[in-house]
Amino acid sequence: MESLEQLLRKAEAAHGHLCAGQILGVRMALLGLKRLEIEDPHGADRKRLVTYVEIDRCATDAIGLVTGCRLGKRALKFRDWGKMAATFVDLAASPAPARAVRIVAREDSRELARRLYPQIESASRQQMQAYRELTDAELFSEQWVRVAIDPGDFPGARGGRFLCSQCGEGVSFGRFCEVDGQRLCLSCARPELRYWELEDGCR
Ligand SMILES: [Zn+2]
Ligand SMILES: [Zn+2]
């Protein structure tokens, strides 16, 4: 595994800047890999890991970078819970449900950073310094969990494709609802969940 500093340089390049969130994310991912005894996430172990992230902030980019888990590979799963937490799932360790470690950034780590570096004025600089040095136990709490991943949600799963009988758009991975005997995409079946609405005058 690469060193913290090497990974931080890569995270900085990928994310656009180095920030406390990058450091926390790199440390969190390194801890997850260590707990699962995954040493080569980009090579030999690349099919072993699925990661669930619970927030879409800076740390999330770093977690993707270190683990190699990406949305486009279906190995990064996003749950929009607003928590600085991630669950690292080892697909190889056991029969389903898979063994996993869920790691949460401790709420008091900012306060710890402030106490460690009172001479540094900016809170984010305090954190960037402290998050390099604090122990895993000072930064994170962790718990062993089991994660039942739906067979259709595995990275390599092949899902059938169909056309929605209402909008005609193609849909993969079985993401449909059966309504009155018709297969509808989720947007047509449950328009209240749409994140968009048509502009006036469009149809
Ligand atoms: Zn950032
Ligand atoms: Zn549709």
Residue 188 has pLDDT above 80, yes or no: yes
Q: Is 27 helix (H, G, I), strand (E, B) or coil?
A: helix
pTM to 2 decimals? 0.92
pLDDT at position 94: 66
Q: Could you say which ligand is closest to the alpha carbon of residue 58?
A: 1
Residue 18 has pLDDT above 80, yes or no: yes
- Separation of 22 CA from ligand 1 center, angstroms? 6
At 108-139, the pLDDT tens digits run 999 999 999 999 999 999 999 999 999 999 99
The residue that leads in pLDDT, 150 or 87, is 87
- Separation of 153 CA from ligand 1 center, angstroms? 29
- Separation of 21 CA from ligand 1 center, angstroms? 6
Beta strands in 7-97 (DSSP E): 49-53, 76-78, 85-90
Contacts of 132 (CB under 8 A, 6+ apart): 4, 23
Q: Could you say which ligand is closest to the alpha carbon of residue 182?
A: 2
